Amino acid sequence: MQNRSVPRRTVLASAAVVAAGTTGVMGVTANPAVAHRRDHRLKKIISRMSVEAKIGQLFVPYFYGTSATSPSQFDQERNLKELGVRTVAELIAKYHIGGVIYFSGWANNIQDPRQVADLTNGVQRASLALPTPIPSLISIDQEHGSNVRIGSGATQLPGAMALGAGRSLTDARAAGRISGTELAALGIHQNFAPVADVNVNPANPIINIRSFGADAREVGRMVAAQVTGYQHAGVVACAKHFPGHGDTGEDSHTGLPVITHTREEWERIDAPPFRAAIAAGVDSIMTAHLQVPALDPSNEPATLSPTILQGVLRGELGFDGVIVTDALNMRGVRTKYGDDRVPVLALKAGADQLLFPPDIGVAYNGVLAAVRSGEITEERLDESVLRILRLKDKVGLLGGSPYVSAKEVDRVVGARAHQHAAARITERTTTLLVNEDRTLPLRRGHKKLLVVGASPAFPTDSTRTTVPELARAFDELGYATTHLATGRAPDAAQIDAAVAAARGRDAVVVTTDNVGATSAQRTLVSRLLTTGVPVVHLAVRNPYDIAHLSGVRASLVSYGWAEVELRAAARVISGRVDPRGKLPVPIQRADDPAKVLFRSGHGLSYDD
């Protein structure tokens, strides 16, 4: 770890600008007099900021590299090409940036917890070196399940739909608290979770298992529980994607979806989880890049719609926290306007934080030009800056040192108690859909297993894939396991090899991933069923796969393929634990979608 001592000048400057701490777990200021005094203090800070510094507080850009000041040469070159600077420290200095977002994989921000902590300290040193030294609010997308940024070393938890299957508010709250506690130890104080979308469209290409389910009331209860868990841990939660992304067949990363719900349907289906999040005290809400004609007939994307953000979210729902845009590099928000105008229109619509602009220079200068021309008043600018400073004050960034320590990281992140709790929570989510002739649990003498099928890579580690990791989980339980990954589109040779590998096995566990009407995975499963070897089907992503598979005598859903979810599924299949999950969505028949194959709430146990 790098030395976290701060030059005396920076400490004194920080103290002069950001005095006074927080109250309560996250500095909750329900008392109007306390809130007034806090705002008075924060407005003094704002009064000393330049327009350029105020604009910088609004942006949450990406960057490349594992270090704030000395990333690899490759990452420096990428930063220079896309951001105009070599390091995130230079980015913060150039644009007075108020927050950044970490990504694993493509951005190469995350390797392990200690490295993340060092990166955080470097970001904060750069922030405290600004003319107005205000710590950064560091953000991340750590939803868990299929959407994870910090993998190795941190506790992995079940995703939203898995938690929805667990039906436990206590578990959902605990998962948020565990995740939030570890993020806070790393100096990450804003998590873009939980997803508040109600997944009523089984073909939804972007939300799906990231949602808690298809019942608006149940989703709302789970969202509120997660908000409470995160925020009690000292992390800003963010309910997303307002006004609701659960009934779309198009991905807003690549297009501009349209939600065709009537106003009454929106009130019944989409609004309840956001109302629940607001009632639970959620600190931020993320917008969606989609059109909702029933809410705004102008058909502006919700992110750019004053009618939706100011009229509905702030006016009707009464939300006065931070509104953060979904990533501004997504196609859904760039269909009508240039990258210099999108952030301006988002601010005019009512947004506060501007996430992931595709070109930070173009976006920043676009807002600066709008302020200088009077299109955006400085008073409007101050409103958003005040809301952002309230968040920073609430999580303790303005009341003391923003730096994190190696000792705390080692003590908290991936703690044994967290790992144990995550395993037990996940075991309560695995759902048994079919169990004819008591195929499960596996018979005691059946130790020779074949694990075969679709094998998506782990969310944070592309070198580890589902099938071999599931086989390893069975090996650790005492089985003699062989495995064969055939992918999502197995060809005839792969299917023949799988059938041959099944011979002499006591049982076959076949994994599927997004089975459709024409999927070759259907052929794989049907051919395995003809071998006479007991076949156990495990859907590692969508619960809807079973609708396309006939003749299956044992079928389960894990709702994700993170290691913790695979281990839980193995323990359920082996009979170490009883399946307790209940479907949080209905599954329609593939040949007649008007009819339900399994109702929401369906889930077998070994006692049934």
Q: Would you name the residues annotated as active-site residues?
A: 253, 326
CA distance 278 to 6: 38
241 CB-near residues (< 8 Å, 6+ apart): 195, 196, 197, 252, 286, 287, 288, 290, 326
116 CB-near residues (< 8 Å, 6+ apart): 102, 109, 110, 150, 186, 188
CA within 13 Å, CB half, 224: 17
Q: What tokens appear for 454 in the block?
A: 């679709």
Q: CB neighbours (10 Å) of residue 528? A: 22
CA distance 231 to 545: 35
CA end-to-end span of the chain: 53
CA distance 537 to 135: 50
**SS3 at position 573:** helix
Of 247, 277, 275, which Cα lies nearest the Cα of 262?
247
Q: Does residue 402 have a cis bond before it (omega within 30 degrees)?
A: no
CA distance 353 to 59: 6
CA distance 605 to 607: 5
Largest CA distance in the chain: 78
CA distance 81 to 278: 40
Q: What tokens appear for 421 in the block?
A: 């709790």
Helix residue ranges, H only, 465-557: 466-476, 492-502, 520-529
Strand segments (E) across 372-474: 431-435, 448-453, 457-458, 461-465
10 Å CB burial of residue 269 (0-12, 13-18, 19+) is: buried
H or E element at residue 482: strand 480-485
CB 126 within 8 A of CB 89: yes
593 CB-near residues (< 8 Å, 6+ apart): none
Of 491, 497, 488, which Cα lies nearest the Cα of 515?
488
